[in-house]
A and B are shown apart, each in its own frame.
Chain A
Amino acid sequence: MKKAKVFRPTAFAFPYIAVTVVFVIVPLLLVTLYAFRGNDGSFTIENFNYIFSQAAYRNSLFKTVGIALLATVLCLLVSYPVAYVLASHPFNKMAVLALLFVIPTWMNFVLRIVALKSVFNWMGLKPSFWTGIIGLVYDFLPYMLLPIYTVLSNLDKSYVEASKDLGSNDFLTFWKVTFPLSIPGIISGISMVFMPIFSAYAVTGLLADAGTTVIGRGIEQLFSQPSGYGAGSALSFVLLLLVFIVMFLSSFITGKTNKTLTGGKKR
């Protein structure tokens, strides 16, 4: 009899595991390799020295963090009220309304930014720091809105009712109950906006002045010739670390809020 192993359905994931190794893991290893490799092929941190000693890259990195923070906060300030309204009665019965805020994301974002650019031209706004920021907020707003809206609209109404029953007014109820419960949505929104802005040089490139750009542009330029691969990889590696930090922070905060929320019930 032929010896055949009993089939496991987990085998269906194997092709993808192979794809992930070749096209995701190996590229990241290559980035790491190039980042720590000198011209002669030896291990070096020269590339990191270079990018941090060159004011252009160092400043660009810090500026990008600033731009990303600012745009993320503005996104949050605009989308939270919208999400809150959409999740409240009677708007929660109008599913189409929420959809209206998302539809533009299904269209090409370069075309949307070009449309915004045409409007700025018409209004006589010259490319500047702030037009760039507005562009980023315009582009990323739905990604902040959606997770917050999802959390708020799935929130058990009885929390709010209980709070009011116990005597808090609308504002206190929001501040002490609704807002803390929506933090996981905010965190998820921030993680969908903050890091992607680092790569959004198409937006700043079309809308902002020449001085306002994100680090993605710098990396792209470094990679335009082989001599820049090392420094470009080093910069990419720094971003990679940043991604890890952001991930860690967001899972830490989400974990903490979840713990606070379920703390009383835990056995």
Chain B
Amino acid sequence: MKDKKILSLVIRWLILIVVLIAIYLPIALIILYSFSEVRDLGGEYGSFSFGLYAKLFQNKELMTATMNTLIIGLVSAFLATILGSVTAIGIHYMTKMRKVVDTASQITVVNAEIVTAMGFYLLFIFLRDVVHLSFDLGLGWLIIAHTVITTPYVILSVSPRLKQLNPNLLEASMDLGATPIRSLVTVMLPQLFGSMISGFALAFTLSLDDFVVTSINGGKTYTISTFVYNHIRRSGVLPEVRSLSTIIFLFVLIAMIVVNIVKNKNLKKEK
């Protein structure tokens, strides 16, 4: 009986470890080889060096793409967080309209991304050629597109928190003399702060991760995804991508650790 239990435990550990290795092996190798200047993985490792990191910061195109990624990610996540939270509050008080708005907000979530991307592109064509607005594909258009795509995820992360709130908070605030906008800012948003932060993080990583919409609506503006993809398709491996991957991975790891520490602290406080 006891043997059987131990065996089952060992098998289960094995399953987890094998899959984890498969997931992390490429990442680990990339990190390892980010400190070597060799062109391809598996080649002569050579000496430990920060050469690829120096190269990364000297690669103007890659640096621009990184900056674009950050600008688009931060600005669109910020806009999506504001829009999504305010919308979630509106939806929360809806009765009949709720289902319609909820469904509408899910369209971009369930739709094939390529269709969404093409929709944006056709809208651009329409605005330029039919409405005669003079603007071009690029950073601004990408910020709008990313905001639209990520807002539903903010709504999804804020809504559950709203359900936990006292149903009369907004009314109480207005009852005491605060206008709707003031009530929103001084009473509702502070309650939602935590879920807005996770909504922001989600929106940011989704924006960071996006390829299809960005590639089709970016014009000459490249983000990390589109630049790296195009460069590798055209001219093959770009060694300094390894150092960029390492930096991003470490950043994500540290962020996760910090979030978990804060979460645990809050949990303890509640207890």
Contact = CB atoms under 8 A, between A and B. Distances in A.
Interface of A: 7-17, 19-20, 23-28, 30-31, 34, 78, 81-82, 85-86, 88, 90-91, 96-97, 99-101, 103-112, 114-119, 121-122, 138, 141, 191, 195-196, 198-199, 201-202, 205-206, 215-216, 219-220, 223, 229, 232-233, 236, 239-240, 242-243, 247
B252 to A, nearest CB: 4
Contacts of B136: none
B86 A107 contact: no
5 contacts: A13-B87, A24-B104, A101-B23, A108-B248, A236-B114
Contacts of B232: 114, 117, 206
Nearest to B148: A23
A96 B137 CA distance: 41
B89 to A, nearest CB: 5
Nearest to B111: A243
A196 B113 contact: yes
Contacts of A85: 12, 15-16
B41 A16 contact: no
Interface in B89-123: 89-94, 97, 101, 104-105, 107-108, 110-123
Given A10-B90, A118-B40, A27 B120 contact: yes
A118 B26 contact: yes
* Interface SS of A by simple majority: helix
B139 interface: no
Given A7-B180, A81-B15, A202-B211, 19 more contacts: A9-B90, A12-B90, A15-B86, A20-B148, A26-B123, A27-B118, A27-B122, A86-B16, A88-B12, A105-B205, A106-B205, A115-B30, A199-B112, A199-B114, A199-B117, A206-B232, A215-B114, A220-B215, A243-B111
Given A118-B29, A195-B112, A110 B225 contact: yes
Contacts of B241: 111, 114
B105 A91 contact: no
B212 interface: yes
Contacts of A10: 90-91, 93-94, 97
B205 A239 contact: no
Contacts of A34: 122
B262 interface: no
A91 B16 contact: yes
Given A108-B224, A109-B211, A27 B123 contact: yes
Contact of B252 (A16, A107, A233): A107
Contact of B112 (A20, A90, A196): A196
B101 A17 contact: yes
B174 interface: yes
A216 B110 contact: no
Given A13-B94, A236-B115, A199 B212 contact: yes
A9 B170 contact: yes
Contact of B30 (A8, A118, A242): A118
B237 A118 contact: yes
A116 B244 CA distance: 15
Contact of B26 (A82, A103, A116): A116
A23 B144 contact: yes
- Name the residue in B84, B90, B144 with the highest tally of chain A Cβ atoms < 10 Å from its Cβ: B90
A16 B16 contact: no
A111 B244 contact: yes
A28 B170 CA distance: 36
A168 B4 CA distance: 17
A119 to B, nearest CB: 5
B13 to A, nearest CB: 8
A97 B119 CA distance: 39
A105 B151 CA distance: 19
A121 B40 CA distance: 8
B118 to A, nearest CB: 5
A101 B211 contact: no
Contacts of B244: 111
B25 A122 contact: no
Interface string B151-186: 100000000000000000010001000001000100
B123 A25 contact: no
A103 B30 CA distance: 16
Nearest to B93: A9
Interface string B218-233: 0000001100110011
Interface in B189-209: 205, 208-209
A34 to B, nearest CB: 6
Contacts of A96: 260
Given A103-B253, A223-B216, A233-B122, A239 B114 contact: yes
B118 A219 contact: yes
Given A12-B90, A13-B101, A24-B107, A82 B23 contact: no
Contacts of B110: 191, 195, 243, 247
Nearest to A217: B114
